[in-house]
Amino acid sequence: MPGNTLSKGEVFVIDTDAASREQLSTALEQSAYDVICFADGASLLSEAKARMPACVLLEMPQDRSGLDVLRRLREENCMAPVLVTSANGSIAMAVDAIKSGAADFIEKPFRSHDIVGRIDAAIDESAQPASCRQRWLHGCEALTAREGDVLEHLAAGLTNKEIARRMHLSARTIEGYRAGILRKAGARNVTDLLRRIFGQGAPAQI
């Protein structure tokens, strides 16, 4: 961003809609981010090899080709948080995006300032030490910090929408995290999951 020496970092954006790209670029630049837009995943992957963005905003087409871009970023050790956007969002797509390494899944249409807030939160979380980002359930694969937070809210009896509001994420994203928690815990559903947690003694072990 010309003239701004206090840039918060670069955000890579893929969005097929020119108006969306323009809105996002303006909102992000006003929030002190530098923005680089890409026409396709191959261009973004090539650039990501040369420079590490602070965050990636990745549109998911209906053919789900964005998942390949997301997986490639992770395979090539690009650890920047990736926020996936989609005009055709579904629970299954959100789950797949989260499983593939997305930090958030956002359905279109959205407000640009909401996206900026999501990006700020994702970058802040990614800056935490790895030791602070993982939690364990006894006998299960480690949970990420986000999964641990979702689990605590589930244990408190909150709905997906209530959790989404508290965590400043989309309900689809919460569904994706919940599916990941159930898979790691080997639980059939949330009731089964909570039975296992409370059976361990107390949710403080989360």
Query: In the beta sheet, which residues pair with residue 38?
Result: 14
pLDDT of residue 137: 63
Q: What average pLDDT score do residues 78-101 get? A: 85
pLDDT mean over 49-67: 88
Tens digit of pLDDT for each residue in 61-72? Answer: 877 788 899 999
Region 135-142: mean pLDDT is: 67
Query: CA triplet 89, 99, 91: central angle to 5 degrees?
Result: 25
Distance CA 187, CA 167 (A): 23
Provide the pLDDT for residue 45: 92
| Domain residue limits, the chain | 10-127, 131-205
Residue 5: per-residue pLDDT = 56
pLDDT above 80: residue 82: yes
Q: Is the pLDDT of residue 107 over 80?
A: yes
Reported as a single tens digit per residue, the pLDDT across 149-201 is: 898 888 888 899 999 999 988 889 999 999 988 988 888 888 777 776 665 43
Beta strand 34-38 with 55-59 is unpaired
CATH number of 131-205: 1.10.10.10, 3.30.470.30, 3.40.50.12780, 3.30.2350.10? 1.10.10.10
Alpha-carbon span 106 to 114, nearest angstrom:
10
Q: What per-residue confidence (pLDDT) applies to 56? A: 96
Reply yes or no on whether the pLDDT at 206 is more than 50: no
Q: Does domain 10-127 correspond to CATH entry 3.40.50.2300?
A: yes
Residue type, 22: E
